[in-house]
Amino acid sequence: MERKMKLGMDVVNFNAAGIDVGSRSHYVAIGQELDNVREFGVYAEDLTALCQWLMESDVTTVAMESTGDYWQNLYVELISFGFEVVLANGKFTKNAKGKKTDVKDCRWIQKLHTLGLLSGSFLPDLTTEQLRTFCRQRGNWIDLAASATHKMQKYLKLLNFRLDVVVKDVCGLTGMKIIEDICKGNLDPLSLAEHRHYNCRKPKEEIASALHGNNRSDYLFGLQQEFEAYKFFQKKIADCDKKIEHFIKQELKQHPERGKMKTTEKPHKRMNKNAPQIKDLNQIAFRYFDGVDLFAIEGLSHSTILTIMSEIGPEGFNKFGSSKQFTSWLRLAPNNKISGGKILSNRVPKGSNRLKIALRQAANAIGNLKGTHLSDFFRRVAYRKGRHSAVSATARKLAVIIWNMITKKIQYQPPKQYLFLDQKRKLGLVNRIKKQMDKFELKPEDLGFKNNLNISNLI
């Protein structure tokens, strides 16, 4: 007679509950019986009643799905009542057997959490979350401003004002003055060409030739509307910059010991028009990360640093045990699929977040540099696998460097130091002098030097 074997699993989380989050109601399970499931609404008093029922049932830990934005208010309420909350990704809880219902979902989540099979998602601290709100709102205004820019270009082309041909940026100094004058009713090409900025490459005559339009009233009205919208969006972006700067400085006031920290200036870090207009962000970021100079990494711009500050924050890096975990969370590490000892696939998994996008943009900028450690790495990968793979590989390398700098409190020390243009010229001059001295077998004394100086000390 065959003996049946029963395979059991150890309970990891005792007194655990599972919540299926919805837009109009939440289903809560504290056990696997139907009597252990209740439905609660989404109003404030309903959330309070939910937490009180969990406390009366001696629940200590709760698991819930990160469904849309509906989980946020419930999460805050659970934290305020002192529960340990695990916010799980929906893809880890979707394999319940049978017909899908809200009751079955919450019981399945409760079962998985009791057995310790759910892992929590990354959530930043409150300060980083507030800064993230301001920065994401700023990003929304930038997207709207870009949309208004495209529509202005469309109306200019319909008016046969080919401003995009004679100026590099329609929303630059020359372009904005010309568009503003057009919206005021000035349609004289020669008069409009007088707004040419001295840095503009095209002469006034060519700019005037590009501004002979058909002057249709409907297109002029549309251009005026989009120009006013663009100015409104720019004002909102400036308001966000002021709020972000004020918030960061208020946060730094809570750490007065960092006030005396100072790093070297970075004149090569130029600010474009979409960069956050925060005064001395170099020193602010150095103090915000407790003496870690992220601006020393070539390719990291002001926008990239602000994204790191707002999306993960200085404390968020400590939630990842290693740089491998950090790059895996960013979806920059290869996802190795192995079967039978053979690697079936090692592609980088799909998915993105704002920090990954910022690091990829920084990696793309590094690919345009010359003579740096990271740009040399970029070119080696690009030569073998193409630029797209080089951007991903360099972004991952940046993530590893940043994680090590912030968690271990070390400075950026590349094997090959970044050199400014004048330093490159001086180095080239010294190398040429060395070659000439070796060629003619000259010594420092022959050149009038009293001491036996090392030429490399002149750099």
- Written as six digits, the tokens of 248 are 């960061």
Q: Which residue has the tokens 């058909």?
A: 214
Condensed to tens digits (0 to 9), the pLDDT of residues 6-37 reads 556 778 888 999 999 999 999 999 998 989 99
Angstrom distance (rounded) from CA 82 to CA 59 = 11
Query: Are 189 and 208 in contact, with CB atoms under 8 Å apart?
Result: yes
- Written as six digits, the tokens of 90 are 């929906």
Angstrom distance (rounded) from CA 138 to CA 283 = 22
Q: What is the pLDDT of residue 5?
A: 60
- pLDDT above 80: residue 429: no
- Name all domains of the chain by residue range, CATH numbers in brackets: 16-114 (3.30.420.10), 128-248 (1.10.287), 262-408 (no CATH), 421-458 (no CATH)
Condensed to tens digits (0 to 9), the pLDDT of residues 267-299 reads 778 788 888 999 889 999 999 999 999 999 988
Q: What is the pLDDT of residue 459?
A: 43
Angstrom distance (rounded) from CA 19 to CA 66 = 10
- Using pLDDT thresholds of 50, 70 and 90, give the confidence band for residue 158: very high
Angstrom distance (rounded) from CA 193 to CA 44 = 61
N- to C-terminal Cα separation, the chain: 88
Q: What is the pLDDT of residue 399?
A: 96
- pLDDT above 60: residue 369: yes
Of residues 199 and 226, the one with the higher pLDDT is 226
Angle of helix 281-288 relative to helix 302-311, nearest 10 degrees, comes to 30
Q: What is the pLDDT of residue 423?
A: 63
- Written as six digits, the tokens of 292 are 């870690």
Tell me what the mean pLDDT of segment 251-264 comes to. Answer: 90
Q: Specify the pTM.
A: 0.83
Residue 125 exposed, middle or buried by CB count within 10 Å (0-12, 13-18, 19+): middle
- Using pLDDT thresholds of 50, 70 and 90, give the confidence band for residue 68: confident
Which of 48, 223, 244, 212 is closest to 141 using CA atoms? Answer: 244
- pLDDT above 60: residue 453: no
3 state DSSP class of 422: helix
Angstrom distance (rounded) from CA 308 to CA 294 = 10
- pLDDT above 80: residue 415: no
- Using pLDDT thresholds of 50, 70 and 90, give the confidence band for residue 431: confident
Element (H, E) at 142: helix 126-158
Tell me what the mean pLDDT of segment 410-428 comes to. Answer: 72
> How long a stretch of residues is the chain?
459
Query: Are 336 and 343 in contact, with CB atoms under 8 Å apart?
Result: yes
- pLDDT above 80: residue 449: no
Task: Please enumerate in sequence order all residues whose Cβ is within 8 A of that of 165, keeping only pairs 6 or more positions apart, or say none.
Answer: 210
Name the E strands within 57-145. Answer: 61-65, 84-88
- pLDDT above 90: residue 236: yes
Query: Are 404 and 410 in contact, with CB atoms under 8 Å apart?
Result: yes
- pLDDT above 60: residue 203: yes
- Chain centre to alpha carbon of residue 95: 32
Query: Are 297 and 291 in contact, with CB atoms under 8 Å apart?
Result: no
Number of H helices and number of E strands within the chain?
17, 7
Q: What is the pLDDT of residue 458?
A: 45
- Using pLDDT thresholds of 50, 70 and 90, give the confidence band for residue 337: confident
- Using pLDDT thresholds of 50, 70 and 90, give the confidence band for residue 100: confident
Tell me what the mean pLDDT of segment 54-77 comes to. Answer: 91
3 state DSSP class of 29: strand
* DSSP letters for 313-363: HHHHGGGSSSHHHHHHHTT-S---EEETTEEEE-PPPS---HHHHHHHHHH
Average pLDDT value over all residues in the chain: 88
- pLDDT above 70: residue 455: no
* Strand pairing class (37-40; 26-29): antiparallel
3 state DSSP class of 64: strand
